[in-house]
């Protein structure tokens, strides 16, 4: 990611905020992608060799952040899932109107990521 290329923490936080913002501003897209029943079970996420794939961008940023924290490499998959769950779960709650959308939802996203992502 071009923003914060040498700052893993701010990079992963910015990615999370942009994800939440995009989904809140495009709720039909989120519902189509994540709520529409998928009849084809995916057993494995294919690896992409390009750096432009959204999952790879997120994963690479998350790995840099975990490395900076000196997090246990054996926990990488769980740690990345936890990061994803924060931004995706919050997005789903907002998009589905399960919680009232505060005007400062991006500040809340920033706070959740900045204060709760401390993998050791």
Least confident of 5-9, 35-39, 79-83: 35-39
More confident residue, 73 or 116: 73
| Residue range 17-50, pLDDT digits in tens | 998 999 999 999 888 877 777 655 545 544 555 5
Domain around 71: 8-33+52-116
More confident residue, 1 or 64: 64
Residue 47 domain-assigned (yes or no): no
Least confident of 3-7, 42-46, 96-100: 42-46
Residue 15 domain-assigned (yes or no): yes
Residue 63 CA to residue 82 CA, distance in Å, equals 13
- Are 10 and 4 within 8 A, CB to CB? yes
Q: How many domains does the chain have?
A: 1
Supply the pLDDT for residue 45: 47
Residue 72 domain-assigned (yes or no): yes
Mean pLDDT, residues 106-113 = 92
Tokens coding 113: 């990521």
Q: Which of 109, 117, 105, 99 has the alpha carbon at shortest distance from 61?
A: 117
Is the pLDDT assigned to residue 54 strictly greater than 70? no
Residue 93 domain-assigned (yes or no): yes
Q: Which of 114, 67, 60, 63 has the alpha carbon at shortest distance from 86?
A: 114
- Are 48 and 56 within 8 A, CB to CB? yes
Integer angstrom CA distances of residue 68 from 6, 31, 98: 11, 34, 35
């Amino acid at each position: 990611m071009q923003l914060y290329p040498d700052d893993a923490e701010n990079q992963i936080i910015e990615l999370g905020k942009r994800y939440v913002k995009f989904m809140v501003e495009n709720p039909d897209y989120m519902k189509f992608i994540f709520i529409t029943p998928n009849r084809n079970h995916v057993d494995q996420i294919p690896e992409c060799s390009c750096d432009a794939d959204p999952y790879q961008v997120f994963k690479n940023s998350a790995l840099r952040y975990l490395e900076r924290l000196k997090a246990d490499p054996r926990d990488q998959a769980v740690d990345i899932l936890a990061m994803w769950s924060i931004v995706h779960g919050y997005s789903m709650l907002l998009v589905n109107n399960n919680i009232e959308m505060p005007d400062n939802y991006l500040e809340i996203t920033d706070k959740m990521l900045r204060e709760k992502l401390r993998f050791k």
